[in-house]
């Protein structure tokens, strides 16, 4: 077994730390700066689950009926994001979010983005 290198990826909303990456799964910590939001997006293959470690966010997601919902997620709360469902994170406070997903890191279809990165 080897010590795992942590990859830091700068983002316009903060940064992500990729701390696990295998052919089966990826583990990340997303740091989202207060007042920033990730793109409204979905994934064609990727499936993920998030856990808010610190801070508060509004989490926007498409439910099983295709209806967009918005809920408050605080430290200690988790949410599963099935493949194909639209979602977005909006930081009310600085947030640290653990994300565990399938390994398709480039599988992002951006529908709306405040940083000019739509697909």
Task: List, as one string, the DSSP characters of 21-37.
Answer: E-SS-EEEEEEE-TT-B
In terms of residues, how long is the chain? 119
pLDDT digits (tens, 9 = 90+) for 4-49: 899 999 999 999 999 999 999 999 999 999 999 999 999 999 999 9
- Tell me if 112 sits within 8 A of 42, measured CB to CB: no
pLDDT digits (tens, 9 = 90+) for 71-106: 999 999 999 999 999 999 999 999 999 999 999 999
Domain boundaries, the chain: 7-110
CATH classification of 7-110 is 1.10.530.10, yes or no? no
Indicate the pTM of the whole model: 0.92
**pLDDT greater than 90 at residue 119:** no
Instruction: Classify residue 81 by burial, with Cβ atoms within 10 Å: 0-12, 13-18, 19+.
Output: buried
Alpha-carbon 61 to chain mean position: 11
């Amino acid at each position: 077994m080897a010590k795992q290198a942590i990859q830091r990826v700068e983002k316009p909303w903060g940064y992500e730390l990729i701390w696990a990456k295998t052919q089966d799964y990826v583990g990340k910590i997303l740091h989202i700066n207060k007042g920033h939001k990730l793109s409204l997006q979905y994934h064609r293959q990727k499936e993920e689950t998030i856990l808010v470690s610190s801070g508060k966010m509004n989490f926007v997601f498409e439910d099983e009926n295709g209806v967009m919902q918005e809920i408050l997620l605080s430290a200690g709360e988790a949410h599963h994001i099935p493949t194909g469902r639209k979602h977005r994170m909006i930081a009310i406070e600085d947030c640290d979010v653990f994300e565990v997903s399938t390994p398709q890191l480039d599988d992002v279809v951006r529908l709306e983005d405040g940083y000019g990165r739509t697909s």
